[in-house]
């Protein structure tokens, strides 16, 4: 008998079969989950090997999540981990039946004989979880992309942030209880005590480090001053200290000067050769030898400079995430905030744009858990004000949100800039070659005015009593003697083109 089914019905049936055939299960490795949990209960070494790799979310099966949570609780409390203790912990948590009961837990321990290869198995479980997370993120992105009310740049930034979290293994968590946070805080305090009180990134300026304990993770630090006061010179001196003396990876986003100009400043301060001579190339033979010896430390320093002009806050966050992922940067420096743009997502006046940029810089510091230092201009009010020219918080240019969002607001003040020869204190001490680092806001610490030495022709800030100028030549001679490069090995310099003009750049 001839089939009289309508064509439309046959097509629908065929389509249903095809869809069923293409159905997919989320990536998973249940057999390895069982093996890892079993190994953790029969061998303490297995727990030590994978406890910092896994968390309960990476397990696909809910009962496995409950069992891992019980193991983790026992580990935190420094209690024995075995078949009986895990079963008892599940019973105390009210999760024994949901985890499969005693029989299921016994079966887990019978499936393995040792914890051999447990780390390898754990990493496969983690990979399956990352695959599931990527599928989930992709689905969210697709759904939001169809929503016409969602700003496309917000969507891009959110998508990149979620992918960065997966890459870093720092997937967003819910709230944490007090017990866990207290344990974390105690561990951090113990680590700080071993570093002699330096909980953050050391700047290389003794009194500043004593006051702040270094720049702290997740802090937004604003450094403001009038043009020509030495903002860039200060952060370049600081970046050099961090990268060369403490081997901390530093990222510098320069919107004002080129990367070659910045690195030339660092060469000047590191070698003791004036910036004027470096610009002209008018070096004596011994200075070429100094350059050849001292520049080696700088060339190996973990410094990453990006001189993209008119950088948007969106592009900066994307670049910063990549630098954190690829090079493990520990601090970000931005020179300077007012040259940044809000991108196409901007709206309103310039003050609102600056507010949005400062909020995003604070969010970036928190996301990457590293300090972000942003240079800022001051308004002209400081120039027209009578009496002391020391900057105030009210002098911050274009937005009060900068002061609100920042954890630290600081200023650079050099009396010489205004033609003064003495400090305006009771002692009326000479201020030649000196600067003041003013800590005007410090959310988690005290305030102070810290005096520093400023060597203009080297664009260098240093501790006021470090004796840099007097001792530099003897240090340089020692460095040359210890180096494999001897004066005879140094390359011949070009003919001298005149003396240094002594003008800092």
pLDDT for 233-282, tens place per residue?
Answer: 899 889 988 888 888 999 999 888 888 888 888 888 888 787 777 877 77
Domain annotation covers residue 61: yes
- Calculate the CA 354 to chain-centre distance: 21
3-state secondary structure of 410: strand
Tell me: pLDDT of 496 over 70. Answer: no
DSSP 456-475: GGGTEEEETTS-HHHHHHHH
Say which range, 152-161, 187-196, 225-234, 479-488, has the weakest mean pLDDT: 479-488
Tell me: pLDDT of 192 over 50. Answer: yes
pLDDT for 41-79, tens place per residue?
Answer: 888 788 878 887 888 889 999 999 999 999 988 887 778
CA angle 351, 227, 437 (to 5 degrees): 95
Residue 20's pLDDT is: 40
Residue 315's pLDDT is: 79
- Are the CB atoms for 231 and 416 separated by under 8 Å? no
Domain annotation covers residue 491: no
Instruction: Kindly report the average pLDDT of the chain as a whole number.
Output: 78
* CATH number (domain holding residue 363): 3.40.50.300
What span, in angstroms and rounded, lies between the C-alpha atoms of 100 and 65? 12
Element (H, E) at 233: helix 231-240
Task: Please tell me whether residues 162 and 226 are part of one structural domain.
Answer: no
3-state secondary structure of 304: strand
Domain annotation covers residue 322: yes
- Are the CB atoms for 370 and 330 separated by under 8 Å? yes
Q: Which of 93-102, 189-198, 490-499 has the highest mean pLDDT?
A: 93-102
Domain annotation covers residue 326: yes
Say which range, 247-256, 324-333, 335-344, 355-364, has the weakest mean pLDDT: 335-344
Task: Please tell me whether residues 224 and 163 are part of one structural domain.
Answer: no
Residue 465's pLDDT is: 74
**Mean pLDDT score, 353-357:** 83
Residue 480's pLDDT is: 39
Domain annotation covers residue 3: no
Domain annotation covers residue 184: no
Q: Identify the domain boundary among 169, 184, 217.
A: 169
**In Å, how far are 3, 81, 251, 328, 329 from 303, measured between CA atoms?**
76, 45, 6, 11, 9
Tell me: pLDDT of 359 over 90. Answer: no
- Are the CB atoms for 96 and 106 separated by under 8 Å? no
Residue 343's pLDDT is: 67
3-state secondary structure of 339: helix
Preceding amide of 130 cis, omega within 30: no
Domain annotation covers residue 469: no
pLDDT for 3-18, tens place per residue?
Answer: 444 444 344 433 334 4
Residue 473's pLDDT is: 39
* CATH number (domain holding residue 109): 1.10.860.10
Tell me: pLDDT of 373 over 90. Answer: yes
Task: Please tell me whether residues 154 and 221 are part of one structural domain.
Answer: no
pLDDT for 149-159, tens place per residue?
Answer: 888 877 887 88
Whether residue 248 lies in the annotated active site? no
**Mean pLDDT score, 351-361:** 84
What span, in angstroms and rounded, lies between the C-alpha atoms of 378 and 225? 6
Task: Please tell me whether residues 325 and 245 are part of one structural domain.
Answer: yes
- Are the CB atoms for 339 and 359 separated by under 8 Å? no
Task: Please tell me whether residues 438 and 319 are part of one structural domain.
Answer: yes
When divided into structural domains, the chain yields a total of 2
> What end-to-end distance do the CA atoms of the chain give, in Å?
96
Task: Please tell me whether residues 162 and 245 are part of one structural domain.
Answer: no
485: phi > 0 → left, psi -120 to 50 → alpha, else beta; which? beta
Task: Please tell me whether residues 79 and 208 are part of one structural domain.
Answer: no
What span, in angstroms and rounded, lies between the C-alpha atoms of 487 and 289? 6
Tell me: pLDDT of 130 over 60. Answer: yes
Residue 176's pLDDT is: 61
| Choice among 165, 256, 403, 416 that is catalytic | 256
Tell me: pLDDT of 371 over 90. Answer: yes
Tell me: pLDDT of 389 over 60. Answer: yes
Task: Please tell me whether residues 281 and 424 are part of one structural domain.
Answer: yes
Task: Please tell me whether residues 334 and 423 are part of one structural domain.
Answer: yes
Closest to 66 measured CA to CA, from 100, 31, 40: 100
Domain annotation covers residue 202: yes
Tell me: pLDDT of 409 over 70. Answer: yes
What span, in angstroms and rounded, lies between the C-alpha atoms of 466 and 103? 71
Task: Please tell me whether residues 206 and 113 are part of one structural domain.
Answer: no
Tell me: pLDDT of 193 over 50. Answer: yes
Tell me: pLDDT of 317 over 80. Answer: yes
pLDDT confidence bin for 372, thresholds 50/70/90:
very high
Give me the domain span that covers residue 78. Answer: 30-169
């Amino acid at each position: 008998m001839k089939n009289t089914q309508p064509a439309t019905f046959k097509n629908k049936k065929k389509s249903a079969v095809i869809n069923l055939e293409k159905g997919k299960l989320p990536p998973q490795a249940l057999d390895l989950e069982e093996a890892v949990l079993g190994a953790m209960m029969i061998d303490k070494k297995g727990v030590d090997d994978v406890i910092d790799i896994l968390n309960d979310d990476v397990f696909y099966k809910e009962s496995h999540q409950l069992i891992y949570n019980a193991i983790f609780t026992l580990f935190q409390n420094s209690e024995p981990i075995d078949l009986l203790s895990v079963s008892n912990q599940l019973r105390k948590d009210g999760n024994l039946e949901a985890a499969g009961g005693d029989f299921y837990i016994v079966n887990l321990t019978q499936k393995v004989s040792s914890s051999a290869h447990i780390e390898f198995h754990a990493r496969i479980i983690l990979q399956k979880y990352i695959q599931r997370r990527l599928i989930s993120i992709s689905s969210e992105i697709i759904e939001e992309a169809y929503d016409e009310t969602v700003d496309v740049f917000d969507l891009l930034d959110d998508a990149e942030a979620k992918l960065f979290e997966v890459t870093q293994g720092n997937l967003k968590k819910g709230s944490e209880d007090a017990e866990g946070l207290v344990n974390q805080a105690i561990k951090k305090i113990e680590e700080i005590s071993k570093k002699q009180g330096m909980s953050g990134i050391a700047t290389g300026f003794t009194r500043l480090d004593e006051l702040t304990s270094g720049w702290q993770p997740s802090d937004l630090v604003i450094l403001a001053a009038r043009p020509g006061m030495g903002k860039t010179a200060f952060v370049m001196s600081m970046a050099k200290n961090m990268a060369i003396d403490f081997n901390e990876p530093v990222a510098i986003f320069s919107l004002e000067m080129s990367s070659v100009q910045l690195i030339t400043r660092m060469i000047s301060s590191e070698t003791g050769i004036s910036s004027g001579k470096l610009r002209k190339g008018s070096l004596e033979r011994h200075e070429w030898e100094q350059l050849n010896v001292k520049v080696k430390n700088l060339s190996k320093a973990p410094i990453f400079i990006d001189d993209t002009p008119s950088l948007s806050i969106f592009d900066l966050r994307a670049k910063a995430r990549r630098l954190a992922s690829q090079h493990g940067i520990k601090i970000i420096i931005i020179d300077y905030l007012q040259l940044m743009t809000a991108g196409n997502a901007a709206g309103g006046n310039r003050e609102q744009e600056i507010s949005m940029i400062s909020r995003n810089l604070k969010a970036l510091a928190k996301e990457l858990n590293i300090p972000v230092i942003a240079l800022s201009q001051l308004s002209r009010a400081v120039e027209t004000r009578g009496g002391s020219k020391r900057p105030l918080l009210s002098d911050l240019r274009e937005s009060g949100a900068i002061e609100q969002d920042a954890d630290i607001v600081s200023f650079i003040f050099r009396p010489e800039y205004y033609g003064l020869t003495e400090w305006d204190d009771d002692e009326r001490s000479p201020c030649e070659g000196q600067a003041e680092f003013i800590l005007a806001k410090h959310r988690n610490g005290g305030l102070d005015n810290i005096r520093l030495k400023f060597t203009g022709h080297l664009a260098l800030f240093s501790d006021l009593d470090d004796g840099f100028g007097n001792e530099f030549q003897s240090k340089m001679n020692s460095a040359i003697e210890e180096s494999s490069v001897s004066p005879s090995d140094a390359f011949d310099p070009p003919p001298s083109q005149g003396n240094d003009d002594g003008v800092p750049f």
